[in-house]
Amino acid sequence: MSTTTSRVLIDRRGDIGVVTLNRPEALNALDLEMIDAITGALAAWEEDADIRAVVLRGAGERGLCAGGDVRGLYYQLRAGDTSGPERFFRSEYALNARIAEYRHPIVAVADGITMGGGIGLAGHAAVRVATERSAFAMPETRIGFTPDVGGTWLLGRAPGRLGEYLGLTGATMSGPDAVMAGFADVIVASSQIDALLGALVAGGDLDEVIARFAEPVPAAPLATVREWVDEAFAAASVPAIIAALRSRPEPAAQAVADQLATAAPTALAVTLEAVRRARSLSGVREALAQEFGLIMWFGATQPDMIEGIRAQLVDKDRTPTWQPPTLADLAPSTVTDAFAFAPSPPLWA
């Protein structure tokens, strides 16, 4: 059985369900129609005892999913519409939770770009396959808000202080980096992905089939920065992190300090707190609920979210004007206000 929607292909091959994001011209960026289609497929298969596993992949050769349709979000927020974004995030986060808790194993193929909303699809799957083309990132601070889709749950469980580093900088991870940081499980050559799917359909133990295609994980570039990342990003605040980076002799540490000094102050401060709070949460659902409050706070009260999307993705002038412009100008109550924001109804109502 196969079903075709405009942007998602739903296909059942024997006892394997296959979901293919089919918007390659936009790097398979998610819109509400796609989220609803994926949710519908997973809901239909969840109680089917004959389904052995679900494979989630992206059409084209450039990536699984570059994130959510933030350009559409920009135009809604600019028009003063918060109901559209709220529906989108509620639906997206419910899908993220379903993936994390799904009855059948989900095998997510993160071949190529897997960022933002793409992490929400792949990062919570039972088996997360990276390739030599993989590029993982949570780049939300670069456009003026905070990692979501359960990203803070993953960041909070990365080794050492990699979670703070990856969350604040939006740095891109290779496949080996993603395995090291806990965003992926195995590396499979991109040329072998179709063969892997064929082998899964042919039958056999899921783990054994995947192990046949898995390659040794190369050294992760992230490992070369762990010493200064763990030291600097353990500091108590973003200004203290920048000061710690400035004290390091590594040129890469200096470059990160320069990046943080010009990034959105509100996004940085909220993200640092979100990653650290996520470490004490009990599961992905709690992290998603926390993120939902934060994302709605940004959308309802903060100009940086609109400005960041404008500068990076709409006008593409790469010169956002943040409010406030510097960390020194950030009100002491900002982070407290962000975490106190309570959308009604709450996410899981």
Q: Is 9 helix (H, G, I), strand (E, B) or coil?
A: strand
Residue in the block written with tokens 């709605």: 296
- Catalytic option among 31, 148, 164, 307: 148
- Catalytic option among 111, 140, 164, 185: 140
Q: 69 catalytic, yes or no?
A: no
Q: CA-CA distance, 152 to 147, in Å (whole number)?
A: 6
Q: In 3D, which of 73, 68, 136 has the Cα closest to residue 96?
A: 68
Q: CA-CA distance, 213 to 79, in Å (whole number)?
A: 49
Contacts by 257-263 with C-beta closer than 8 Å and gap 24+? 259/169, 260/168, 260/169, 261/327, 263/141, 263/142, 263/168, 263/322
Q: 117 catalytic, yes or no?
A: yes
Burial class of residue 214 (count of CB atoms within 10 Å of its CB; 0-12, 13-18, 19+)? middle
- Catalytic option among 68, 167, 170, 299: 68
Q: CA-CA distance, 89 to 77, in Å (whole number)?
A: 13
Q: 68 catalytic, yes or no?
A: yes
Q: 61 catalytic, yes or no?
A: no
- Catalytic option among 17, 117, 118, 170: 117
Active site residues: 68, 117, 140, 148
